[in-house]
Structure 1
Amino acid sequence: MMKSKEKRRSIAFISRKMILVLLLAAVFSGAYTSLASAAPKLETGRKDQIDRFIETRMHQNRIPGLSVAIVHDGEIVYSKGYGETGSGAAVTPDTPLPVASLSKSITALAVMQLVEAGKIRLEDKAVDLLPSFRMDDPRGKEITVRQLLNQTSGLADTVFPEMAFSAQPASLGESIARLKEVKLASDPGTAFHYHNTNYQLLALIVETVSKEPFPDYLQKHIFAPLHMDRTTDAALTSSFKEPGHMLLYGQPVALKEPDWFVEGAAGNVSTANDMARWLMLQLGGGTYGGTRLLSPEGIAAMREVPAGVESRYGMGWTVDGARLSHNGILWTYQADQLLMPESGYGIVILFGSGLNALVNYGTFASGIADILNGEEPPKSAISVGMIEAGIALLTLLTVLLWVRGFFFRWNRWEHKARQRRVWLISLRMLATLIPLAIFISLPQILTFVGGGRVLKWEQIFLLMPSVVIWLALLSAFGAISFVRKALCMVAILREHQKAQA
């Protein structure tokens, strides 16, 4: 009997201890969970570091305004706007700005949705999907959907300079109709050529196969499910509501984007917060907020580079090891998106200023990535303002030296010309035309160094206005001096002939 009582007491004691342990575990577990959920995804110190970095880079590069968003683990952990728009309004994370070629990754997703729906295949020929797509080049019949996505169709700016056309098309159909007499730059599937028309063809395929206007398809199947409520699609840059900025001698100048047909390739207008949801979809394997837009296999396929081709371009994404990125370039706007699946971070930056040869926009996203990875971003001792000041000084010096030589030292040159040999003077005179030759050849030079992109003069000026102004003055001064010296040499030769007669 005593043993039975002791046994019951022992069991009760052990039970009370177990209950106490379980209660304490529950309390500590709840406290830990509460603390973990309360802990910020991005520490205050790191947020401050990012904030200082952006403001410093903006000042160094004379960027008038931008918005940025950072995502991690399905949440927006940083979202902020800086500076002003072209109309003078404060930039916020909800300010709509053109995202330019970031649109290509969105167009690619639309195509992949139709692939997974069984409506098209990646190996389908474009001519079989688009009755209006015809090329005199027989190789055009072999272009596949996959090659358009990978930018390996054989189409290129050098054979179809769509950015440089004086008259821009008004629709996808009109744009594609212009391809009829184009000859491909390479056999389909053999070489990478970054070319906007590839994605215009893809947009037309989406429109034709889905039987929905391309903007409506994007709205219904991508923007609405992602709650990208402020995101729209534009066919022409003339529909952009806000002016952007160009940089002239380091000073931002509000300017309307030049006319350009951008449907499918560069036509989306969005916000940092909306694009953050787009990045969360990418990091979530094709799912956002419980809604699946594409399978994980489809997302993975978009990140594969084409086999047998020297290229780092997947389907709307540039693949750099584990990282994925794409930039967007317009003449008064710029954008960047960066995915780091290894750490789960995504970064998007929308700039209120456009392409400029002196501004390295890519350092913004890469610098933020360094901070997120616990590293110190590289610092630059030279700012765009310093470079532009140097170019302005060089331009002023060029003007002063030419005025000095043309007006105040002409008699001295004429005196020496009478004493020197004609061939030597002629060589020196020809040297003054070198700047003019470079200036005239500038479009071809930029096409060569710029990976085959063909630009017209308006775009070249916006790319590097201070350099173009200096080179134009140098060319004009050289040409004027050459003509004056040539006339002088003719007069001197006639004098010699008369003297000999």
Structure 2
Amino acid sequence: MHRVLITAAIVFGLVAPSSANAAPEPALTPAAIDAYLDEAMESTGLPGVSLVVTHGDTVVHATGAGRDSRGEPMAADSPMRVASLSKSMTATAVMTLVEDGRLALDRPVVEQLPEFRMDDARANRITVRHLLNQTSGLSDRTVDIGATDKARTLTDNVATLRSGTLAAEPGTRWAYCNVNYDIAARLVEVASGRSFGDYLRERVFGPLGMTASGTDADLPAPPNGFTSVFGQWVARPELVGFPGGGAGSVITTAADMGRWLIANTGNGPHLVSAQGLTTMQTPVLHRYGMGWGTEEDGDLLVHSGNLFTYNAAQAIDPKTGYGFAVMTNSTGLADDTYPIMLGLAAMSRGETPEVPGATRQWSEVALAAIVVAALGLGGLGVFRARRWASARRGTWWTGARLLPALVPVLLFAGFPAVISIIMGGRAVTWTQLTYYAPLLITVGVAAAAGLATTATRVYRLRSVRSGE
């Protein structure tokens, strides 16, 4: 979500400036990774990071830097929420059942999950492949996301969709929607006869030795993460919606992510066939496969994961056999996990990595400056309201002259809807926006200043016209 909020800030003018055929191995050493991580921590100011780099069937380095909200050092075994990185794991669980003959990618979901119903006949044509490719036609704009978040079981989660509709004919348009992967998780339960969390542990995490991994419905919550408030990191509990779903519920560690990356480069224990792995990693629409997408240049298979106090990014390079995962226990108006991951990928190719800049810090400096300016202009507007009213006492267009100061008020009143539009229809709530406090505070202060100016001008105008 925070990536889109950066875009929102720009719109409002607030942000300142397979390994078998692997290429020869570049000199990517643990010491080089540590040195790069130190630079990244210094430039970004992140409170805590854990990461892992793999090559072929080997973990090159798994480590951590900084601290968690309890003051404990971050390490390779620190529990981390990885958000939408979970989708690649859910897709793998589904693919194991496809290869076992218990699910079929191209049969309609309703034939394999009879409880799935929507108020749209087109939903009967959604296949399992559509769900995993995010081409089902499901959209945050056409289903009740608030109701899905309040569900406590996958069964109840799927039941909330009965009043929903589709935004497009299945298979014709790509739209990122978490509901796709929660339905997929329920398919896993029905086809396997086990809970989604149990199936992940038995058929995905267990065979890979990912002993510290599970869903947030099965594991203790990690320490609170952090949100940035004008340069200060504030510990807050994660805003968890539906627990144990297939879209973003996995908790894991850098050490376990190393095992996951090795498997997804075609090394280590094989969870699915080579053909199954290729199917999941092959883009269909919008450079997206099944829980994996591609960078614009097509060199890396990637996926990011964004919550409200944790962020993560993963990538594998099919040409070199390298894998990368970066996780942080914080969020702000910039996601630094992704550029750090890209820097590690550059190092693996023997290139000089780009160290992430202070995007978050400069963004928040710009926002703070706007807050100060809004307070100053609001105070000036109130102070000069009598003069303003006297100069416009007899003009008929005075009412229209009041409107500019109300623009921030209107923006603030509809802010969740505005952000939702910028996000392409993704559902946004006021509670979620509080986790991006600098942006919300900036718009709120501007609205308060505009409202105070307008109210004072109206009062003074009435006084002038009544002769007081």
Distance 2:304 2:43 in 1: 20
In structure 2, how many angstroms separate the alpha carbons of the residues matched to 1:204 and 1:357? 33
Q: Which amino acid aligns with 1:141?
A: N
CA contact (8 A) 2:230 2:365 kept: yes
TM-score where L is the length of structure 1: 0.83
> Residues of 2 paired with 1:312 and 1:412: CA distance?
59
Distance 1:73 1:234 in 2: 30
In 2, Cα distance between the equivalents of 1:209 and 1:97?
29
Which amino acid in the other structure matches residue 132 of structure 1?
E
Aligned length: 441
Give % identity: 33
Q: Give the corresponding residue for 2:254.
A: 272
Tell me the equivalent position of 2:370.
394
| Residue range with higher mean Cα deviation, 487-496 or 115-124 | 487-496
Take 2:389 and 2:425, find their aligned partners in 1: how far apart are those partners? 45
Aligned partner letter, 1:247: S
- Tell me which residue corresponds to 2:309: 332
Aligned counterparts of 1:428 and 1:296: Cα–Cα separation in 2: 67
SS of equivalent residue, structure 1 residue 224: helix
Change in Cα spacing, 1:68 to 1:293, as seen in structure 2 (3 Å) is same
Question: Judging changes above 3 Å, is the alpha-carbon distance between structure 1 residues 119 and 315 closer, same or farther for their aligned structure 2 residues?
Answer: same
Aligned residue in 2 for 1:412? 387
1:447 aligns with 2:400: no
The AA in structure 1 aligned to 2:129 is: R
Aligned counterpart, 2:349: 373
Match of 1:458 among 412, 425, 431: 431
Alignment partner of 1:476 is 2:454: no
C-alpha distance 42-88 of structure 1, shift in aligned 2 (>3 A): farther
Deviation readout 1:361-382 (Å, 9 max, x if unpaired): 3211111111111112235665
1:487 aligns with 2:459: yes
Q: Secondary structure at the match of 1:347?
A: strand
**Maintained 8 Å contact 1:235/1:261:** no
Q: Which letter maps to 2:351?
A: E
Q: CA RMSD in A?
A: 2.2
Within a 5 Å distance, the mapping from 1:10-409 to structure 2 comes to: 43=27, 46-162=29-145, 164-165=146-147, 168-235=150-217, 240-262=221-243, 263-284=245-266, 287-288=267-268, 291-306=269-284, 310-320=285-295, 321-354=298-331, 356-379=332-355, 382-407=358-383, 409=384
Q: 1:66 to 1:430 in 2, by over 3 A?
A: same
What CA distance in whole angstroms lies between the structure 2 residues aligned with 1:152 and 1:135?
16
C-alpha distance in 2 between matches for 1:478 and 1:166: 37
- Tell me the equivalent position of 1:421: 395
| CA positional deviation for 1:193 | 1.0
In structure 1, give the amino acid aligned to 2:293. T
- How many angstroms does 1:48 deviate by? 3.8
Letter in 2 for 1:417: R
| Residues 166 and 476 (structure 1), Cα distance of their counterparts in 2 relative to 1, 3 Å cut | farther
- Looking at structure 2, the residues matched to 204 and 167 of structure 1 have their Cα atoms a distance apart, in angstroms, of 15
The CA deviation at 1:241 is 3.6
- Specify every segment of 5 or more residues in structure 1 that has no aligned partner in the other structure, as ranges: 1-40, 497-501
Between the aligned partners of 1:48 and 1:427, the Cα distance in structure 2 is 64
**Residues 203-260 of structure 1: CA deviation (Å, up to 9, x unaligned):** 11111011111111111111111110111112499x5241111111122111101131
